[in-house]
Amino acid sequence: MTVPLIDPFQRPISYLRVSVTDRCDFRCVYCMSENMTFLPKKELLTLEELDRMCSTFVRLGVEKLRITGGEPLVRREIMTFFRSMTRHLESGALKELTLTTNGSQLERFADDLYAAGVRRVNISLDTLDEEKFADITRWGRLPQVLRGIDAAQKAGLRVKINTVALKGFNEDELVTLTEWCASRDMDLTWIEVMPMGDIGNEDRLGQYWKLDDLRQSYAQQYTLSDLPENTGGPARYVRLEETGQKIGFITPLTHNFCESCNRVRLTCTGELFMCLGQEDNADLRGALRNHPGNDAPLEEAIRGAIRLKPKGHDFDYSRQSVDGRVSRHMSHTGG
């Protein structure tokens, strides 16, 4: 039996997030600059290489695979990859195949995703105001995303909305977003903005809305009950008794969620980041490409990387500066 992946702090690694492209059809102001320079296509892993890479991780004990980007559904022929992963669901080795998306392409792909075995999707949506949506995404169109959400639910996909908490932008929509999600039987998770990459003239510190404050706003409107469940990600959950829905909080800045981390992130170029908030990474592309037909060097490279997984990250806004910043964009590492 293959020895599972265990990091130096005795945490089993069972969750892989894979960025299949750094490209996106939006330019969200907290994620990337408007005039991005994307990676040359030759540097990206091919779909066949992504299959081999992910299959190796599954063989080593990864049970949850989340596909991210950029926007994963803008990658050409991406459904070929999803369909290839279906065999791991059918064998039982993979317990869940899912993705995080901006929703722009779901109207086209929702049915195909369900057919490939996807049952849940996370959709990034920061406002229900069409003008504000256009401002924050720069290139995005809210009606297109809403049609994508309709298509996802019609296809049978369980939808969770991910909303980045942005001071002065969506503070006034807390109740509106919550009630809208409740009316559609969708859970909602709020995320603190993270200090990743150069985003041009945007003020990262000025965007920061502390989720402790956001939770207090909820408590003024609803009755909150803490939930013990953990879906394998970094969110902590409460239930709103008035609506019955689940609200998540991802708080990498005000509360370190690293003690139970079971995740690593693979970039579209084959770099493995053992921690979202650290620069250290391992290049797996060489082990993959230099040994066609032999996965042993790739397995050893993966195990070597996991042995370097740190205890936690260093994001910190407490000193009125963006400490613990990492240089890469979130679209490169994967959301």
152 or 35, higher pLDDT: 152
- The verdict on whether residue 327 carries a ligand-binding annotation is no
90-94, 201-205, 275-279: which has the minimum mean pLDDT?
A: 201-205
**pLDDT tens per residue across span 209-250:** 899 999 999 999 999 999 987 665 678 899 999 999 999 999
pLDDT digits (tens, 9 = 90+) for 58-82: 999 999 999 999 999 999 999 999 9
Q: Contact 122/162 with Cβ under 8 angstroms? A: yes
What mean pLDDT, rounded, does the chain reach? 88
Domains of the chain with CATH codes: 15-333 (3.20.20.70)
pLDDT of residue 247: 97
Q: Is 193 annotated as a binding residue?
A: no
- Residue 70 marked ligand-binding: yes
- The per-residue pLDDT for 168 is 92
223 is annotated as contributing to ligand binding: no
* Cα angle 19, 258, 158; round to 5: 50
Residue pair 64/5 in contact (Cβ under 8 Å)? The answer is no
Mean pLDDT of the 325-331 span:
48
- Average pLDDT, integer, range 188-207: 65
Q: Which two tokens stand for residue 148?
A: 């994508």
What is 268-288 written as a DSSP string?
TTSEEES-TT---EEE-HHHH
268 annotated as belonging to a binding site for a ligand: no
Residue with tokens 């469940």: 229
Segment (H or E) for 52: helix 47-59
186 is in an annotated binding site: no
What is the radius of gyration, based on Cα positions, of the chain? Answer: 19
Banded pLDDT at 314 (limits 50, 70, 90): low
Task: Give mean pLDDT, residues 193-200.
Answer: 55
Is the model's pLDDT at 172 over the cut of 50? yes
Question: What gap in Å lies between CA 118 and CA 116, rounded to an integer?
Answer: 6
Work out the percent of the chain whose per-residue pLDDT is above 70: 85
HSE toward the beta carbon, residue 153, CA cutoff 13 A:
15
Please give the model's pTM, rounded to 2 decimal places.
0.88
Contact 171, 127 (CB under 8 A): no
Instruction: Answer yes or no: is 28 a known binding residue.
Output: yes
Q: What is the model's pLDDT at position 318?
A: 46
Asked whether residue 124 is marked as a ligand-binding residue, the answer is yes
Q: If you average pLDDT over residues 91-107, what whole number do you get?
A: 98
Does the structure show a pLDDT above 80 at 183? yes
Q: CA nearest 322: which of 198, 165, 177?
A: 198
Instruction: Tell me how far the alpha carbon of residue 132 is from its chain's centroid.
Output: 23
Task: Give yes or no for residue 321 having a pLDDT over 70.
Answer: no
Q: Is 239 annotated as a binding residue?
A: no
Tell me the pLDDT tens digit for each residue of 11-54. Answer: 999 999 999 999 999 998 888 888 888 899 889 999 999 999 99
pLDDT of residue 229: 76
- Who has greater pLDDT, 198 or 156? 156
6 bridge partner residues: 12
- Which pLDDT score, from 0 to 100, does residue 32 have? 82
